[in-house]
Amino acid sequence: MNGVTLVRHPRSLGNGAAVKTGIRNASGDYVALMDADGQHRAQDLASMIKRFSDGYDMVVGARNWEGQAGVHRGLMNLIFNYLASWMVGQAVPDLTSGFRIAKRRLLLRFVYLMPNGFSYPTTTTMSFFRAGYSVAYEPVKVLERVGKSHIRPLKDGFRFLLIIFRIGVLYSPLKLFLPISLAFFSAGFLYYAYTYYSFHRFTNMSALLLSTSILVFLMGLVSEQITMLNYRDSEKD
């Protein structure tokens, strides 16, 4: 009807599964994703599409503070934005916005990473940035939600964090392993300095902390090399 093809799952598989099915069944060069709660305005797609002429691979509709669903969700999203920005080394003003347009051939490269539940915005954003694709953020107005949100701040917030770190490990492992290694090394060195000046001893705890820092760093290096090998697959159409 009206040129729309409806694809159904035999049973409910989750928000992310529906998005992945839509991406796989789309036929155009670009895919527009938006929430079904009435918050996103279709007329904003026009301004978002114009950004592709500047060479971007994905354009995200960015919400302001007024567009957040409550203070707790707004604060949670600020934390996610900060962590994601640190992870990818670029500004991420709205990590969890479900309103976006992207090149379909690029989305297909990361479909296997998307969870069947929520968090496809987090996954696609992190994947595009870490794979070196250009992402633009277009300010959009968000309307009042129709119905009740199914996202639970604590449980789903913890899952969002896991997804951020999972994508970070997949594309930039040293971003996580190096700080942890430095933390163990600092603790071991400081503890050794304390025991040396106090008891003139090098304790087992100092040896454990310092050796752990070396092991964590080596794990990060190995993970980085594995990441480089896996990265070849993201270049295939």
The residue ranking higher by pLDDT, 161 or 21, is 21
Q: Torsion over CA of 138, 139, 141 and 147, rounded to 10 degrees?
A: 70
Q: Which DSSP string corresponds to 14-54?
A: -HHHHHHHHHHH--SSEEEE--SSS-S-GGGHHHHHHGGGG
> pLDDT tens digit string along 124-156?
888 888 888 999 999 988 876 655 655 555 566
Percentage above 90 pLDDT, the chain:
36
pLDDT digits (tens, 9 = 90+) for 83-93: 888 888 888 98
The predicted-structure confidence for 88-128, as pLDDT tens digits, reads as follows 888 898 888 889 999 999 999 888 888 887 778 888 888 88
Tokens found for residue 70: 């409550």
The tokens describing 158, both together, are 């913890």
Which CATH number does the domain 15-170 belong to among 3.90.550.10, 3.40.50.150, 3.40.50.300, 3.40.220.10? 3.90.550.10
Question: Tens digits of per-residue pLDDT, 172-213?
Answer: 888 889 999 999 999 999 999 999 999 888 999 999 999 999
What is d(CA 118, CA 124) in angstroms, rounded to the nearest whole number?
12
